[in-house]
Structure 1
């Protein structure tokens, strides 16, 4: 019995997937780094409410464990790709061919893997070593990791050739490259001829009951990801939290049935003593606004800004009431509709306390 337990423990530690703060594989994990430091809140399937840890993102915890399982594995039979649109000394700000995207994906050959989508610039700065950048201390950041079936890898590749992330490092066995040639193209920054302007697909989670839908736009889409693609396809109005420090920020869009309003203030459960304005946040996520209807939460890459119209990127949406409640409950204030909207459609700045 003891040997069996040890075997199962070793097997779990050798399995690719999202890792929690105890280095266990979980179906999904959500984390939110808070402003002005490296502390964070977490949620996962067996603890679906926000909770704090004493961890420091720079040195230990779920993020390091998730990266280390890739970087410390000497096996060459798995695929991984790490991408980030901010890599020191590699590209200039004027190079907009690459997507505005940050993440890490890894899959063993014909086995389950994971996809981590986050908002941290310059993570990880060293191609094959976990390094959490000190430059991310000031602003809040989001992390969404989901453990996926191998069949999802081909679907992800279909999206990556459209969004064109800036790959920082990768490993791609020839056996996988032959079966999924678009993955090879994406990792080598090879543009796809006649690529679609946008794409929407379902993904397959492992043992969880998550419903996943992936939206991607190319840099030629030239529209807002959320107002023009996500909200009308999900058929829900959205509250959106994105970076608000550009001259071309988009106002709340109230012109359609499935409107998108910018979040202005967030507040966590009182026990966590965390609240901040959107101007202190670098995260990119949306949550369906109404209690009625499908309960979607999306995590991704793109800001609500005109400057992002010419950048590729996307968002991974999950329909799950537990995750929806996590994010809907922390929204306490949103931006009202622009005055130019007809009075019949006008709504004031909303306090959601």
Structure 2
């Protein structure tokens, strides 16, 4: 999603990357009740759906909609998990937007949500994979707020909160304390230099590009360019993502945490996907990076 830019962008336009429209700029805004976000979240807006026996969801955020302060012992992470046992599938929406989503389809977007650029990744999984997803999320200790689940979903959703085991799921889920992006670059599956976009925090010390004599480089993106939307600086971009520079390893990750000293003590993770079209699209967003 683009940031607000006076006279140029309302801060609600977005670019959609999916199997049917890689890199398509949409004129619909993020707040549109007929748009992609609203349609994805429709089940949690619908009172009849949240009472269905086989449907359940949890929302988690370090900046929840009610504005309450969340302890730093919880992960710096935001997202929604929805499962439908009858349909044998579920959705994981990982995002970077504070105070999102409100439980009202007409006003689900938060006040102030237009100011900065944000990212959202939505992945559909089979129903039986959600226990593995939840177990793997346990180390991040996400702050979960209003939890709703049907009777049949109750066991698997409760299990998500209390067990941890390593599981092989795709896309890859990564969890760490420290510099998440250095860890990603060093993974055998990725093994590539990275360009990284994260929020330039106003408090604390931002981490410089990581350029060791040996090993993989992690370079901070300083400005973004999106065809059809324009250009903006890192100071206007609250999104968290990285893209591999090795064309033979086309990995893109949407993540939870920023590259800042204060964040290296916070828990967080990333959803990573190996897809050439997605990686090519994200690579084109990089207008200028911080040199080593």
TM-score by length of 1: 0.73
Q: Deviations over 1:100-121 (max 9, x none)?
A: 1111111112611111111100
Does 1 or 2 have the higher relative contact order (CA < 8 Å, sep 6+)?
A: 2
Instruction: Map 1:181-196 to 2 at 5 A.
Output: 181-185=158-162
State the match for 1:4 in structure 2. none
Contact 1:177 1:184 in 2 (8 A): no
The equivalent position to 2:205 in structure 1, one of 248, 251, 265, is 248
Indicate how the Cα distance of structure 1 residues 273 and 310 shifts in structure 2: closer, same or farther if over 3 A, else same.
Answer: closer
Give the gaps of 5 or more residues in structure 2: 6-10
Distance in 2 between residues matched to 1:151 and 1:86, nearest whole Å: 29
State the match for 1:274 in structure 2. 230
Contact 1:161 1:182 in 2 (8 A): no
The equivalent position to 2:174 in structure 1, one of 182, 199, 215, is 215
Paired positions, count: 278
1:305 lines up with 2:279 in the alignment? no
1:328 lines up with 2:283 in the alignment? yes
Whose radius of gyration is greater, 1 or 2?
1
Query: What is the CA distance between 1:54 and its match in structure 2?
Result: 2.2
1:105 lines up with 2:81 in the alignment? yes
The DSSP-based 3-state class of the residue aligned with 2:92 is strand
State the match for 2:54 in structure 1. 77
Distance in 1 between residues matched to 2:105 and 2:83, nearest whole Å: 16
Indicate how the Cα distance of structure 1 residues 126 and 150 shifts in structure 2: closer, same or farther if over 3 A, else same.
Answer: closer
Distance in 1 between residues matched to 2:158 and 2:16, nearest whole Å: 36
CA RMSD of aligned residues (A): 2.3
TM-score by length of 2: 0.87
Give the gaps of 5 or more residues in structure 1: 1-31, 186-191, 205-211, 338-353
Distance in 2 between residues matched to 1:42 and 1:314, nearest whole Å: 22
1:157 lines up with 2:126 in the alignment? no
Indicate how the Cα distance of structure 1 residues 276 and 311 shifts in structure 2: closer, same or farther if over 3 A, else same.
Answer: same
